[in-house]
Structure 1
Amino acid sequence: MGLRELLIDAWSWLNYKETLAPESARRIFPELAGQWVPDEDLRRLATYKTLVAYDQNQAGQLAAAGGDEDGTDRRELGDPARIIDAAVGYLLGAEQHIVVSGAEHAEDEEPSPDAAAAAAMQERLRKWAKREQFPLRMQQAERCAVRSGDAVYVLSWAPDKGRVLLRTYDPGWYFPEWEEGEQDIAEYPTRVHFAWGLPADPEKGLKERVRRITYELGWIGPASRSGYDAEDRPVRELVVGDDGAPLLTAGDTLTENGRITRVYPWAPSRPSSNTCYLTDAEWILDDLRGGYDVYTLPASKARYRTRADGEVLDRLDLQVDFQPVVHIPNSIPDVGEHWGTSILARVMQGLDELAATDTDSASASATTGSPVIALAGARLPVDRATGQPLPVKVKAGSVWELNESGRMDTLDTSPQLAELRSRIDHLQNRIAATSRLTAAGLGLLDPTEVPSGYALALALSPLDSLVGAMRLARADKYALLLRMVQRLHQAGQAWPAGETLPAELVWGPHTPTDRAAVLADVVSGVSSGVLSLETGVRMLQDAGYPIQSAAEEVVRIQRRAFEAAARLADATGDNAAVREYLGLPKADPGVPPVPLLPKPADQ
């Protein structure tokens, strides 16, 4: 690659591969050969395909398709998949919880209305997550994000189910569109496309097509309804009144400046003039002549799809002022970038070296197990029909007669095999260190060789920083997703209207916790008075003890803490406070009230 061809971008770590060249990418990956695939997205899509090939142990086939004659002989033993699975496991941790800020105070004796509302919303979100299989969807998306560098969630309201549906999309189908100079992780694209090719089906009379789903923010327009154009194709048409003027959607208001505003249930005091439009259409590839790509597909050639409820998806007003699409980057993007980086990015060449060494090791082990033998002065069997010597085969129990000067020499390749195995261990440790998953994190470290828990913690410190950065890149994304879930339920009138409550996804510990040590610290800290009982219970909860509610656990402990109650009685002399501490009802004084006689009239 010449200096004038040096290209540095989010995928330049793969420049050494032939697959990133535009001509090679379209030749090696037929699905990228369509003219609707933009040239500016070709490097990103080819990178995704390459990473999937490594994940599926198809890197050798990829190399063969690029012109490497020995590519099909490449040995691949699943090292990329192991790195990906390990990173996903550490990222997700033991468990994940949806937490709404302020919900923990709902278990107080006199919770505030805000705390009760937060607890109710937290319960709704957790029930939705269970019904929508959110942990499963998250596993799908996060494995894709760790492998490819990016993942995409799409939310939609399902009227028949009465809840929000969550779907994950292949990042190779994701084509965001920004205004010029606004491509950044902090900026939301003004338009988002999902596009993929559909194969021809001669039996059904279908030609090769491309399907595109578009979410676009725009000004609120007049009301529309499903209809048909002059060619009997489904489209949306304006709803007009008797005077021929367009009508507004119920609840919309026409302002003095000519804009249409709408009051959304999550912002009752702030009318908005924006809404999100959904378009879902197909184009026949034979009709796309003239250099069209996914961003410029002509509306005149579109065939709009119809939703299950009969609505034509031609700029359908979704009645929300946001795009229900959340992009998940695997890493914190560079300044001005939008895309994440794969966990394999920094170790891709190391994986190639490891596969090459595995291939050489397999060849060496073959000659070690079945060595090459040279015979001199041996009487070889002869084919009686031709008189030619028969091929010599080495097998157990073979006996050869040698002359007095005959000998047998064996080629010993065991030293080379030992060296190759040593190199494999070196490469694995190098990959573990470069990826920051560490040898301990990938299971390459013998636990018996660790002198202490502190030494193990130091060995895992790069993994801690890696997981922290990956979770930081996702924190705002999952908070945004949970905010969209609330608002879509409000738009569907399934949840009560009101301001959106802040919710977040809390990850579990990513490394094993020494529960015995945590328990000892809690007992010592609470007994000595340097830790409150509430803090101690939360520490046990974070360590993995089966404590559902910290507040309820504190109440259970206090009801059995008779020694602490005795000390409280000695300190205060207030039996009512002691009974309240133990959770007992107020005591009956046992002295009947004295009846008071009415005073005489003259007194």
Structure 2
Amino acid sequence: MAAPPRRGFGPFGELASGWVPNEDLRRLQAYKLLAAYDNNQAGQLAAAGGDETGLDRRELGDASKVIESALGYLLGAEQTIVVPGAEQKDGAAPDAVRNAADVQQRLRAWAERELLSFRMQQAERSAIRCGDAVYTLAWEPSKGRPVLRTIDAGFYYPELTDEEVDAAEYPSRVHLAWELPEDERRGLKARLRRITYELGPIGAASGPGRSKDGFPVREPMTGADGEPVLIAGDTVDPETGTIVRTYPWAPGRPSAVTCYLTDAEWLLDDLKAQHDIHNLPMNKARYGVRSDGQVLQALDLMIDFLPVIHLTNTIPDSGEHWGQPLIAKVMQVLDELSATDSDSAAASDTTGSPIIGLSGIRLPKDRTTGATLPLQVRGGTVWALAEGGSMHTLDTSAQLAELRARTDHLLDRLAGNSRLTSSGLGTIDPAAVPSGYALQLALGPLDSLVASMRLARAHKYALMLRMVQRLYQAGRAEGWPEGDTLPARLAWGPHTPTDRAGVLNEVVKGYTAGVLSLETSVRMLAAAGYPIDDAIQEIERITAAAAAKPQQDPAPAG
């Protein structure tokens, strides 16, 4: 991808549309190239680009194995939503503990209904393969909860200012866009669909209406005196003249900002050379209509944040917004493996069916035509050689052995440079490891890789759980009171096998000695893989059992 991007060139012909900005074109090409490696189609992509030997390239799933292995280690055995303070029993206000435990239980119930683990599998695989993944959240009145969706990173187009380029900053405007193909049966032309989330000042109320052409649009609502009507709960700040709103999660702190949603389509024929995803002609837009009749043209979502989470696989460099794929630094190794596998296949062909040279033999002929017939090597074949005749075979087994050794060498380089290690990729014999401590040292790079990947995601999942709470509050869901949202995080399970007996022994000694609390002890056991579904309930069971146990009188002295 070092060459400058070219629209409509070779295997990237479908990216010819002018609505894709130049700064995003290279990113989309990279996504397609990475997907080709993942699906064993890099050779086909090379052939489409003009490589005559591309179709002969043998790809045996090495890239996919690296991605799947990293995904498994990243996700660990399980993922648990934790609200700090929910498991605390001593030294905390009962109301605070009760509220934290209630929010934790509600978030876990939401995660189960929304198939969070399944969505994470989708998004995290994309993040590891392409470097980026995208989640969206939306309040669904019919379900009474926020719905979670994963979006292809190739559909994500943020508008980044100089201050928002850094991944730690949050953009104030985001587009999700993709092309819809022509449908002759339904009489639909090729279109571009764009969904836009944008933060802006709160405006007056608006409602569904119709344009002069009869298409759905939003129209401002006016009162009997012709003045604009405010949304219920909004007020005008007498000092600034701006419309302000108090959100349920920020009582006493009026805000003048809200999030607007626009969902529209454009005919590709209506887009000119000067149009890209950021400046489409709004007079040509056809707006969508929600199931409740609301026209999706700058629809006020009644929230002050963008319900979009951009996930990066790595911690971006300063000033960067995009993540780095796991296989980005080992793609040359994958190419070398593919080339070596192709050479091994050719060598095994001549080893299994060797080339034979004969001298002093009369070649058979066709009795009808008199043409010389080719010799065939079959089991039980006998050739009568004349005096002084000889037979020689070409032995390529030595070259095949060298190629297999080179494959093992490249796999070691792949494991080392990707930091997944040979132990992590399963290419090392477990019996060859002298001890568990030696295995732990061998897995050191993998531990570092997983820790770095989880660190890159920690803030984003905490942000997601904060958005879920606020969407529940904005939707006036039953049981969600007004007030500040509680901090919540995603706790990852162990990514490598743990010594459960050793952890249990450590917990017993630490709790007995008073250096570990009961809450910490239970959390350590759950992290080690013990079947503890709910730490709070487990603590309550242990406390109840200890209270019910009869106290033994101390033995008399002397």
Tell me how far apart the structure 2 counterparts of residues 516 and 331 of structure 1 sit (CA, whole Å).
Answer: 34
Tell me how far apart the structure 1 counterparts of residues 548 and 139 of structure 2 sit (CA, whole Å).
Answer: 49
Relative to structure 1, the CA distance from residue 37 to residue 532 in structure 2 (aligned partners, 3 Å threshold; closer, same or farther) is: closer
Alignment deviations for residues 61-102 of structure 1 (CA, whole Å, 9 cap, x no partner): 011111110000100000000000000111010000001111
Structure 1, unaligned stretches of length 5 or more?
A: 1-13, 573-603
Residue in structure 2 matched with residue 23 of structure 1 by the alignment:
6
Residue in structure 1 matched with residue 383 of structure 2 by the alignment:
400
Relative to structure 1, the CA distance from residue 307 to residue 87 in structure 2 (aligned partners, 3 Å threshold; closer, same or farther) is: same
Residue in structure 1 matched with residue 486 of structure 2 by the alignment:
501
Matches within 5 A, 1:82-161: 82-105=65-88, 112-161=94-143
Q: 1:545 aligns with which of 501, 523, 530?
A: 530
Question: 1:529 deviation in Å?
Answer: 6.2
For structure 1, which segment, 530-539 or 209-218, has the greater mean C-alpha deviation from structure 2 after superposition?
A: 530-539
Residue in structure 1 matched with residue 45 of structure 2 by the alignment:
62
Residue in structure 1 matched with residue 208 of structure 2 by the alignment:
226
Question: Taking structure 1 as the reference length, what is the TM-score of the superposition?
Answer: 0.88
Q: Tell whether 2:319 aligns with 1:305.
A: no
Relative to structure 1, the CA distance from residue 406 to residue 21 in structure 2 (aligned partners, 3 Å threshold; closer, same or farther) is: farther
Question: 1:111 deviation in Å?
Answer: 5.7
Tell me how far apart the structure 2 counterparts of residues 98 and 507 of structure 1 sit (CA, whole Å).
Answer: 9
Question: 1:468 deviation in Å?
Answer: 0.5
The 8 Å contact of residues 7 and 15 in structure 2, kept in 1 or not, is answered as no
Q: Tell whether 2:253 aligns with 1:265.
A: no
Letter in 2 for 1:95: E
Structure 2, unaligned stretches of length 5 or more?
A: none
The 8 Å contact of residues 537 and 553 in structure 1, kept in 2 or not, is answered as no
Question: 1:292 deviation in Å?
Answer: 0.5
Tell me how far apart the structure 1 counterparts of residues 472 and 517 of structure 2 sit (CA, whole Å).
Answer: 39
Question: Taking structure 2 as the reference length, what is the TM-score of the superposition?
Answer: 0.95
Residue in structure 2 matched with residue 317 of structure 1 by the alignment:
300
Question: 1:25 deviation in Å?
Answer: 6.3
Question: 1:533 deviation in Å?
Answer: 5.6
The 8 Å contact of residues 155 and 166 in structure 1, kept in 2 or not, is answered as yes
Q: Tell whether 2:546 aligns with 1:558.
A: yes
Residue in structure 1 matched with residue 459 of structure 2 by the alignment:
476
Q: Tell whether 2:163 aligns with 1:186.
A: no
| Other structure's SS at 1:251 match | coil
Matches within 5 A, 1:24-63: 26-63=9-46
| Residue-pair matches, total | 551
Tell me how far apart the structure 2 counterparts of residues 438 and 553 of structure 1 sit (CA, whole Å).
Answer: 42
Residue in structure 2 matched with residue 586 of structure 1 by the alignment:
none
Letter in 2 for 1:554: I
Question: 1:561 deviation in Å?
Answer: 6.5
Bigger Rg, structure 1 or 2: 1
| Other structure's SS at 1:40 match | helix
Q: 2:159 aligns with which of 170, 177, 186?
A: 177
Relative to structure 1, the CA distance from residue 359 to residue 190 in structure 2 (aligned partners, 3 Å threshold; closer, same or farther) is: same
The 8 Å contact of residues 87 and 519 in structure 2, kept in 1 or not, is answered as no
Tell me how far apart the structure 2 counterparts of residues 499 and 487 of structure 1 sit (CA, whole Å).
Answer: 9
For structure 1, which segment, 41-50 or 401-410, has the greater mean C-alpha deviation from structure 2 after superposition?
A: 401-410
Matches within 5 A, 1:321-360: 321-360=304-343
Letter in 1 for 2:342: T
Letter in 2 for 1:286: D
Query: What is the CA RMSD across the aligned residues, in angstroms?
Result: 1.9
Question: 1:559 deviation in Å?
Answer: 5.3
| Other structure's SS at 1:300 match | helix
The 8 Å contact of residues 137 and 168 in structure 1, kept in 2 or not, is answered as yes
The 8 Å contact of residues 7 and 13 in structure 2, kept in 1 or not, is answered as no
Question: 1:347 deviation in Å?
Answer: 0.3
Residue in structure 2 matched with residue 390 of structure 1 by the alignment:
373
Letter in 2 for 1:551: I
Q: Tell whether 2:498 aligns with 1:513.
A: yes
The 8 Å contact of residues 8 and 14 in structure 2, kept in 1 or not, is answered as no
Relative to structure 1, the CA distance from residue 108 to residue 538 in structure 2 (aligned partners, 3 Å threshold; closer, same or farther) is: same
Question: 1:221 deviation in Å?
Answer: 0.4
Q: Relative contact order (alpha carbons < 8 A, sep ≥ 6): 1 or 2 greater?
A: 2
Question: 1:515 deviation in Å?
Answer: 1.3
Question: 1:180 deviation in Å?
Answer: 3.4
Alignment deviations for residues 515-558 of structure 1 (CA, whole Å, 9 cap, x no partner): 12223333455566665665444432221111343413532663
The 8 Å contact of residues 210 and 285 in structure 1, kept in 2 or not, is answered as yes
Residue in structure 2 matched with residue 162 of structure 1 by the alignment:
144
Alignment deviations for residues 417-445 of structure 1 (CA, whole Å, 9 cap, x no partner): 00000000000110110010101000011
| Other structure's SS at 2:6 match | helix
Letter in 2 for 1:297: L
Tell me how far apart the structure 2 counterparts of residues 373 and 194 of structure 1 sit (CA, whole Å).
Answer: 63
Relative to structure 1, the CA distance from residue 208 to residue 529 in structure 2 (aligned partners, 3 Å threshold; closer, same or farther) is: closer
Tell me how far apart the structure 1 counterparts of residues 523 and 20 of structure 2 sit (CA, whole Å).
Answer: 52
Tell me how far apart the structure 1 counterparts of residues 223 and 514 of structure 2 sit (CA, whole Å).
Answer: 75
Residue in structure 1 matched with residue 408 of structure 2 by the alignment:
425
The 8 Å contact of residues 59 and 338 in structure 2, kept in 1 or not, is answered as yes
